[in-house]
Amino acid sequence: MEGRLPYSMLADAVLVVHFAIVVFVVGGLAYIVVGGLLNWRGVRRRAFRVAHLAAIGVVVAQAWLGRLCPLTVLESWLRERSGEGAYATSFVGHWVQRWLYYDVPLQWFALAYTVFGLLVIVAWWRFPPASPRRRPAHRA
């Protein structure tokens, strides 16, 4: 049992990271739209916007390619190594998974991710990130 515990804890850690990424992607779009409407400066930070666009871009690409998320695969592998089996989880795992995973055909995920990705692109256009700052030329 002791040899299995680290795998279970690692699986829960991967699940929590996965959930945090989902919150970043979904909450990030809400933050961009609300912040854009209210003229919050933070929503225009280029690094945040590029990270947000990249995150949903990876999700959409995986869905279109019919690939499972690497975090899902890693979590399942860790759970199997722990002896829990895929998605038989701890307390943390149980509650985070209830929010994160749904039993629908992969095509529905691809459609949902694509629509969400398009919304992110519309938000990029409607509330563009700030232009990168140019450093003044060095004078000798």
Report the C-alpha gap between 49 and 124 in whole angstroms.
8
Report the C-alpha gap between 24 and 51 in whole angstroms.
10
Decide if pLDDT at 10 tops 80: yes
pLDDT for 59-99, tens place per residue?
Answer: 999 889 988 889 988 988 998 888 875 545 554 565 666 66
Q: How far is CA 104 from the centre of its chain?
A: 19
Q: How far is CA 97 from the centre of its chain?
A: 14
Give pLDDT, residue 100: 66
Report the C-alpha gap between 116 and 104 in whole angstroms.
17
Specify the higher pLDDT residue, 118 or 97: 118
Quote the mean pLDDT of the chain. 83
Q: What are the residues whose beta carbons fall under 8 Å from the beta carbon of 49, sequence distance 6 or more? A: 32, 43, 124, 129
3-state SS class at 76: helix
Please provide the DSSP assignment of 9-72 as one string. Answer: HHHHHHHHHHHHHHHHHHHHHHHHHHHHHTT-GGGG-HHHHHHHHHHHHHHHHHHHTTPPPHHH
Q: What are the residues whose beta carbons fall under 8 Å from the beta carbon of 33, sequence distance 6 or more? A: 123, 127
Domain ranges within the chain, ordered by starting residue: 5-126
